[in-house]
Structure 1
Amino acid sequence: MEADIQTPVSQAHISKDVDRAMDRADAKFNHVPAGVAVRNGPVVEDKMDVDQPATNGHTKRKARTSTSKAPKYADSESDEDAIPLAKRQKVSKKAAESETDDDVPLAIKKKPGKLPPKVTAAAFGEDSSGDDEPLTTKLAKQKASIEKKAEKEAKSIRAKESKAKKAAKKEESESEENVKPKAKRKSNGTASTKRSNGVKAESDSDEPLKKKVSAKKVNGKVKAEESPAKKGKSKKDDSEEAEEVYRWWDAPKKEDDSIKWETLQHNGVIFPPEYELLPKNVKLLYDGIPLTLSLEAEEIAGFFGAMLNSTHNVENPTFQKNFFEDFTEAVKRTGGAKDKDGNKVSIKEFSKLDFKPIFNYYDGKNQEKKARSTAEKKADKAAKDLLEAPYTTCIWDGRKEQVGNFRVEPPGLFRGRGEHPKTGKVKKRVMPEQITINIGKEAAVPTPPEGHKWKAIQHDNKATWLAMWQENINGAYKYVMLAAKSSIKGQSDYKKFEKARELKKHIDRIRKEYTKDLKAELMADRQRATAVYLIDKFALRAGNEKDTENEAETVGCCSLKFEHVTLKPPQTVIFDFLGKDSIRFYEEFIVDEQVFKNLKIFKKAPKKEGDDIFDRLNTTQLNKHLTNYMPGLSAKVFRTYNASFTMSTLLKELKDTNISVQEKVKLYNDCNRKVAILCNHKRTVGAGHEVQMEKMSERIKGLQYQQWRLKQMILDIDPKQKKKRGAEWFALDEELTEEWLLEHQAFLVQEMRTKVEKKFAKENEKLVADGQKEMKAKELAERLEAADDLEKKFKKENKTKKVEAEGKGPSVEKCEASIKKLDERITAMRLQAEDREGNKEVALGTSKINYIDPRLTVVFAKKFNVPIEKFFSKTLREKFTWAIESIEDDDDWEF
């Protein structure tokens, strides 16, 4: 359904009188440095001098131009695809209980107490003690300093390029003038080994070829050998990787960049298993009556019943309402519900449905699955891996590439993120007849399941997807793509970061131009300049126009409504709206004076709730304008550039000193934290953060207790040490109270018992697997005596206040060595705890994975001699192979 285009409410031109009036209104305020985010509590309770209405208004948006068109067979990727869904930011609030939930203002739905906290000095990694300068001012100054460096660097890059072009032109003209007949040329009998531009030319020297050309690189392919990062691998790993690693970053670039492959073979997709009927004694109850349902209706009931323990979803009124509508529709369409006598039962009220029998059945099956032995679990996994093996890879231009999501998503209930209006709706089973296969012309087409056929077969070598279908919830198209570690995905990441590097050359001119246009007379120009300012300075997403009938009411910069922006003089702008994935975006920014004035003008009457702030601008127009500055420039490139350039600047300021690896990791994380804050990559504090910090504190105390016992052993070996070292050195730390001591000793005893029992069970499993007899319970009882002895030892120590020396040949020197090792562990753990506490409000993963060029991390690891494993997990190391390998050969790389 086509949406109506909203007619602009604002005037086409801004008169000088309006500007002067705004200047007079703001003259009474003392202005502060701009460019930072602050948080000062909820908007709805604010009694300060703010514009009205001061609501964020999660109201219905007026429709903009619809974009619900047939899909283009192209790649659909987002910046955050690499992040596991479980690790993305969550909003765990219950929706309002009324059926008109969508009309409730977001400010009411979201309790003020759950707003993200203010930025603190600790979170930013700075010491605020003894300094009266506000943190926001510090942040603004640092951001301004980085922007100055960016301006200077952009000018320097352009100057170097200009100089190089002039030199090349001069060389070309000189070479043309010097072209003479061969007979007139003079030769000194030697071949120059360098061209005038400093690039080495080929020569006929006697130098062995292997020294001139790296043995690693041959047509972009390399054998996995002699790399320092791989020396420690087993023979098995070497044989697996010895085939060839495709070094696409060294391979010749294709002439036609739009053609992605010449040949493509794959085995299609794996479908989820067919639905298994519930046992006859397991029924959905309605008002206490067991129901007999059709296969389809029973499966849908099972979706809800299986997730009763997910209270966040099943207690959400919107989730319940959407599920009940889809469920009752399926029941009516498939013959209705019947009681045990075959009489029809009319299902009218959700509250009368009882899913507990279904939940108990599925929960029992889950518990059985968890209770399987290790051998059974391994056997099941091996069988699953064997079944999936043909689908995990494809042959792309003759080489093997990993496939990412080769499984068709099983049916279930849609959950969505944030407060999605369609949460609870039924995701229908995807059939082969809905799936389009993309494959090479010469390749064998995968065989569909028996009795079915594919929707279509095509051979589009300009697309990188292997299969595609349309899901029923939002009508979105789902694609089977290559894995994150594949060369194709790697090239996509590489291009993204190279585009951000290219922006370095133009950023000063772009900022200068949009700053000038902030005072433009044309409303359209001023709105565009203000939008670019917000995107550049505060990492706001541009915001895409949506088909409001099928998608959640999410917005970005260009689609902001009147009610999403609240102005608090002199320069604070409060944004409150549902952003990407229906996650609430609540932030307070200190902006430039002119930007504040502009937003005031954009909200000027006759505008009201529901009207667009930027009513003379849309995302298409904005991105089209940005390409005038630089080919391929779009709003999202600013986020990547700002994060990477900020990180690059901060890392350059670090000096490699004689500190531990853990301290170096913290240095890196401190820089990453600043990037997250300055680029607005923040998050709410995780629910389990306090528990994690408490656990770390307990572990540190446990190590301190071990140290104390070792010191007491020194006294047992040589009592004279007390006088030599002083009584204070042997004293118990004040934090280790008597009550804590008893609890910790009990914990240590229980921990030993648990370890003994687990080891005993594991050894028995192995014996059974090998066809031998299990060990008897008597053996376990004998092993557990060690825990009983430890308990007796602690009781004796508490009574006598003495600790007897342990181990073979105990000595003062051995105890001292152990104390020193514990000191190192305590220091490392405290650094880790400090790091974790500092990171609780910032999304380091978002910055590091999606916005900071991974080569910066590799350069830091190399320069500071820190294993790359400290920063990138195995999955990320595979994803960023191109960054790790390319930096090995380039010591001078800079962002």
Structure 2
Amino acid sequence: MNNGNSPNGDVDPGVSIRNGPVEEMDVDTPQVNGNTNGKRKSRGSLTNGKSYKEASSSEEDDKPLSKRRRTSQQAKKAQANSDSDLDDVPLAVTKPPKATAAQIGESSDSDTPLTAKLIKEKKVIEKAAEKEARTIRNQEKKATGGKRKQAVKEESDDDVPLAKKKAPARKAANGVKKDESDSDAPIIKKKQPVKTKVKAESTAPAKKGKGKVKKEEETEQDREAEEEEDEYRWWEDPTKGDGTKKWTTLEHNGVVFPPEYEPLPSHVKLIYDGIPVTLHKDAEEVATFYGSMLNSTHNVENPTFNKNFFEDFTAILDKTGHGKDKNGNTVKIKSFEKCNFKPIFEYFDAERAKKKALPAAEKKALKAAKDEAEAPYMYCMWDGRKQKVGNFRVEPPGLFRGRGEHPKTGKVKKRVLPEQVTINIGKEAKVPEPPAGHQWKEIKHDQEGTWLAMWQENINGAYKYVMLAANSDIKGQSDYKKFEKARELKKHIDRIRKDYQRDLKSEKMVDRQRATAIYLIDQFALRAGNEKGEDEADTVGCCSLKFQHVTLKPPNTVIFDFLGKDSIRFYDEVKVDQQVFKNLKIFKKAPKGENDDIFDRLTTSALNKHLNSYMPGLTAKVFRTYNASWTMARLLKEMKSSGTIAEKVKDYNNANREVAILCNHKRTVTASHANSIEKMQEKINGLRYQVWRTKQMMIDVDSKIKKKKGAEYFELPEELDQDWVKAHQESLVEEKRQQIRKKFEKDNEKLKAEGEKEMKPKELEERLEVADELEAKFKKENKTGKVEAEGKGPTVEKFEAQIDKLNQRIENMRIQMEDKEDNKEVALGTSKINYIDPRLTVVFSKKFNVPIEKFFSKTLREKFDWAIKSVDENWEF
């Protein structure tokens, strides 16, 4: 079937059609394992009762595809039809896929669709990446005097020669790895070598005594630098922290536990079947978890959330004796539908309103008291340097909400006790005191760990860690190494892509599956995925895709639909290489069916082991960072940004958006987007009305100006009709009244704090007269059609200057609104914070003289302090 793009139906992959329409189509439907035609029984006898995965992995895994057993003439024909031209399909691709303007944020009247531009740009970027990789390797080869340089090289010294590690990656002319003797063996037989290699690599750096001495010297220098209040520029010494020992001395004050539960007032009860019931303290606390959040309809209207909550609630009720009525009789709570949590919600809602209504001075005093109590926990001493601690508060008990469609949403998160908490601290440091009557679970001195405390939560059995803050040296070094690892990948990306394109046609199924997986990870930013336990959310990634998660739409469209990270639905419709499409069709062949693995010969660890042969530390997730950063670097290199700050910011966001589209960092449009755009448009209209009013004041000052500039200049914009004007005037008057009231309250609070007498309500009434005068002024303007000039010494020149300023504000807001609309389906924040090297944003900021505050919030500026201070406008990724 030809799609019109090329004779054989090939198209360029790389841009997805996420959330596109799923229409009626001819797809490869799953074949059942039943005896529909009377011939399927033979399959079972051949596998001796084993599953497809077991049989193929253990018995046929070491055979070429061409010599695998066929179980029937029908199966032979099916195999022949799908694979007959398998090796004839060219790997090179030339034509771009089609996507609608709405899906990528382009304007409908664009001469050249943005998608086509991006596809062309992506091909240029990928070719540039290959050229760059070859250039870097040639330079390294030249620097070593013509000797063949090791393909991968860690910056730290290693006792094991990398040449020996690289041996498995050598390939014969036919494209099959000769040295990797176990490449065609079942996965289970590969596990031991992986474990042994990891162990050898992890212990190698520990042999270097030299590194330890250096670390001690630097620690002493750090102490001196702290005393002198000098800045510690750790990023100028990239070797620091390469060893396994993360710290020499560590002191901190432990963690902050949430306050104990305070019982509800006696008049606030859970109502069951119309009867107010008194609950045991523990059961009442769980009831308040649910009752306090009745306004969260997203959760309380979720059947899974309600089911899980009530299961945990009844378990606690069974332990505590259920409820008691006013006469002390036991009331068994067995039906969720008969529970009325409204009185509990109303109590908490009133408490929230009281807290919100507190005077600003009182709020400030409460915050100051809280900060003072938590101050000892906010910082630790790490190798003699004061470092900010991140999450030092133990999470309070409540109901687990999860993200996406989490199967455990609504379950009770139990209160964490000191007996569950392990403290990590230096041997010489004073161990923090646990709360009275309690003790810590354990005290450790783990110098290889960067955590200060840890405990296990009860929902998923995951370990929670207290770590340093995002702006600490340790966290900064972690980010730095992550992006440096992505930079290192640019040396090898051409070989990796060439190898997986070749292996897409490999005769060994394990190689073919691995190549297909790497292709999907590289081209469409799929996460690698890990195996999940039975009680965990059914989230998957590339290696753990199941039969039902992939739908094939001829000639070469693949539809992914599964729960991804954080149980958020991943839906994407993408164009792929014809060979990749054929491979996926093979991987889905009968007798596979629902819940069978697509990549049944591949695991995440096996995939990462293979990638590690190209470059130490290379894993599937590095591709996301590399592709985003490299793409952004290429776009910024060719960019010429000019105009206002707002226009330059839009240029940056446009580049960021292209990265997000090309790297498939997309999101669904938020429910609040339309409302947000509407508010921005309303603000713009308000400024346009202000321009019109100012122009009318010009006429009041100089009646001849209307003839000079023409009547059209002074007309009210068409969209702003009289009904809109009146509604806007009312909102302006009400806004003025609110401003006056807030100012009055603030002034009274200040007088009270200074011990002076507060102003009387009469003063407020007098102040509000200004709003009344504004209201009267608007009524007069509407009646007469004239606007009186305002301000001291009004002149036409002054009003023209005001209009210029207002028009500039309107233009800036228009740019921001267009930017927001363009980015509604693109996760710019995800790309900018997690995948694009922050140093590239700093380069843009310095190159085009845009304040870094326009791109990074205060928190992000602290997190990426190392990036802001370490590069200039000439730095390259």
When normalised by structure 2's length, the TM-score is 0.82
Question: Take 1:122 and 1:472, find their aligned partners in 2: how far apart are those partners?
Answer: 44
- 1:774 aligned to which of 758, 762, 774: 758
Question: For the structure 1 residues 423 and 618, does the alpha-carbon distance in structure 2 shift closer, same or farther, using more than 3 Å as the test?
Answer: same
Distance 1:145 1:806 in 2: 58
Note the C-alpha offset of 1:384. 0.3
Contact 1:644/1:851 (8 A) holds in 2: yes
Letter matched to residue 48 of structure 1: M
Write the distance in 1 (CA, Å) between the matches of 2:728 and 2:353: 31
Residue 747 of structure 1 aligns to a residue in which SS? helix
- Aligned residue in 2 for 1:32: 11
Query: Counterpart amino acid of 1:719?
Result: S
The 1-side partners of 2:869 and 2:383 are apart by: 22
- The Cα offsets for residues 464-516 of structure 1, whole Å up to 9 and x where unpaired, read as 00001111111101000000111100000000000000001100110000000
TM alignment of 1:857-872, pairs within 5 A: 857-872=841-856
Equivalent residue for 1:564? Answer: 549
Shift of 1:293: 2.0
1:50 correspondence with 2:27:
yes
Measure, in 1, the Cα distance between the counterparts of 2:596 and 2:553: 20
1:604-623 counterparts in 2 under 5 A? 604-623=589-608
Equivalent positions of 1:505-584 (< 5 A) are: 505-549=491-535, 551-584=536-569
Greater alpha carbon shift after TM alignment, 314-323 vs 495-504: 314-323
Match of 2:414 in 1: 428
Residue 348 (structure 2) pairs with residue 362 (structure 1): yes
Alignment-derived partner of residue 610 in structure 2 = 625
Q: Within 1, Cα distance between the matches of 2:740 and 2:590?
A: 75
Structure-2 change in CA distance of 1:686 and 1:256 (3 Å) = closer
SS of aligned partner of 2:405: coil
Q: Does 1:337 align with 2:319?
A: no
Paired residue secondary structure (1:457): strand
1:670 is the counterpart of 2:670 = no
Please say if residues 420 and 455 of structure 2, whose CA atoms lie closer than 8 Å, have aligned partners that are also in contact: yes
1:750 Cα shift?
Answer: 1.4
Instruction: Kindly indicate whether residue 125 of structure 2 is the aligned counterpart of residue 146 of structure 1.
Output: yes
Matched, 1:393 2:393: no
CA positional deviation for 1:255? 7.7
Q: Retained in 2: the 8 A contact 1:123–1:838?
A: no
Supply the distance in 2 between the matched residues of 1:728 and 1:401 (Cα, whole angstroms). Answer: 63
Q: Given the superposition, is the C-alpha separation of residues 255 and 690 from structure 1 closer, same or farther in structure 2, using an over 3 Å criterion?
A: closer
RMSD: 2.6
Task: Look up the match of 2:79.
Answer: none
Does residue 384 (structure 1) correspond to residue 370 (structure 2)? The answer is yes
Alpha-carbon deviations, 1:68-109, whole Å to 9, x = none? xxxxxxxxxxxxxxxxxxxxxxxxxxxxxxxxxxxxxxxxxx
**Matched letter for residue 390 of structure 2:** G
Unaligned runs of 5+ residues in structure 2 are 33-50, 55-97, 150-218
Instruction: Kindly state the Cα deviation for residue 42 of structure 1 after the two structures are TM-superposed.
Output: 5.2
Correspondent of 2:815 among 820, 831, 854: 831
* 252 and 623 in structure 1: CA distance in 2 versus 1, 3 angstrom threshold: closer
What displacement does 1:338 show? 2.5
Shift in Å, 1:348: 1.7
Q: Which among 474, 492, 502 is matched to residue 478 of structure 2?
A: 492
CA contact (8 A) 1:219 1:250 kept: no
Cα distance in structure 1, aligned partners of 2:445 and 2:861:
32
Aligned pair in 2 of structure 1 residues 570, 63: CA closer, same or farther (>3 Å)?
Answer: closer
The residue aligned with 2:101 is 121
For residue 462 of structure 1, report the CA deviation from its aligned partner.
0.4
Residue 733 of structure 1 is matched in structure 2 by 717
Go from structure 1 to structure 2 and tell me whether the alpha carbon gap of 1:221 and 1:441 turns closer, same or farther (over 3 Å shift): closer
Q: Which amino acid aligns with 2:396?
A: P
**1:162 partnered with 2:141:** yes
Answer yes or no: is the 8 Å Cα contact 1:753–1:787 preserved in 2: yes
1:635 is matched with 620
2:24 counterpart letter in structure 1 = K
Counterparts of 1:608 and 1:169, CA distance in 2:
49
SS in 1 for 2:126: helix
Match of 1:694 among 650, 655, 678: 678
Quote the offset at 1:843 in angstroms. Answer: 0.5
Answering whether residue 876 of structure 2 is matched by residue 894 of structure 1, we say: yes
Deviations 1:803-854 (A, max 9, x none): 2221111111111111111111111111011101111111100000000000
The whole-number CA distance in structure 1 between the counterparts of 2:875 and 2:710 is 54
SS in 2 for 1:478: strand
Q: Name which of structure 1's ranges 742-751 and 493-502 shifts more when overlaid on structure 2.
A: 742-751
* Counterpart in the other structure of 1:451: 437
Count of aligned residue pairs for this structure pair: 746
Distance 1:823 1:64, change over 3 A: farther
Q: Is the 8 A contact 1:33 1:137 kept in 2?
A: no
Distance 1:732 1:868 in 2: 39
- 2:15, 2:575 within 8 Å by CA — same for their partners in 1? yes
**Which amino acid letter does the alignment assign opposite residue 745 of structure 1?**
Q
Q: Secondary structure at the match of 2:236?
A: coil
My pick for the range that moved more, 628-637 or 331-340, is 331-340
Q: Deviations over 1:606-645 (max 9, x none)?
A: 1111110000001010000000111100000000000000
Deviation of the 1:545 alpha carbon: 1.1
Aligned partner of 1:651 among 621, 636, 641: 636
Q: Equivalents in 2 of 1:415, 1:255: separation in Å? A: 37
Query: 1:800: Cα distance to partner?
Result: 1.9
Amino acid at match of 2:486: A
Counterpart of 1:660? 644
So what's the TM-score if we normalise by structure 1? 0.80
The residue that corresponds to 1:840 in the other structure is 824
Among candidates 259, 264, 273, match of residue 245 of structure 2: 259
Residue 585 (str. 1) matches residue 567 (str. 2): no
The CA distance in 2 between the partners of 1:454 and 1:63, in whole Å, is 50
Between 865-874 and 311-320, the greater mean CA deviation after superposition: 311-320
Deviates further, 439-448 or 778-787: 778-787
Deviations 1:243-286 (A, max 9, x none): 34322112473486211000000000011111111122222121
Measured in 2, the distance between the counterparts of 1:270 and 1:140 equals: 52
Instruction: Please give the per-residue CA displacement for 1:856-880, whole angstroms capped at 9, x wherever unaligned.
Output: 0000000000000000000000000
Instruction: Give distance in 2, aligned partners of 1:28 and 1:562.
Output: 30
Q: Secondary structure at the match of 1:577?
A: strand
2:250 is equivalent to residue 271 of structure 1 = no
Q: 1:466 aligned to 452, 455, 461, which one?
A: 452
Percent identity for Structure 1 against Structure 2: 70
Cα separation, 2, equivalents of 1:730 and 1:23: 59
Distance 1:405 1:707 in 2: 49
Q: Which runs of 5+ in 1 are unaligned?
A: 1-21, 56-61, 66-117, 171-216, 225-240
Task: Determine the C-alpha separation between the residues in 2 that align with 1:221 and 1:856.
Answer: 32
Match of 1:69 in 2: none
Contact 1:221–1:244, Cα closer than 8 Å, also in 2: no
How far, CA to CA, are the matches of 1:535 and 1:653 in structure 2? 27
What is the deviation of 1:290? 2.1
d(CA) in 1 for partners of 2:670, 2:543 = 30
Instruction: Tell me which residue corresponds to 2:770.
Output: 786
SS at 1:37 equivalent: coil
Cα distance, 1:168–1:145 mapped onto 2, change above 3 Å: closer
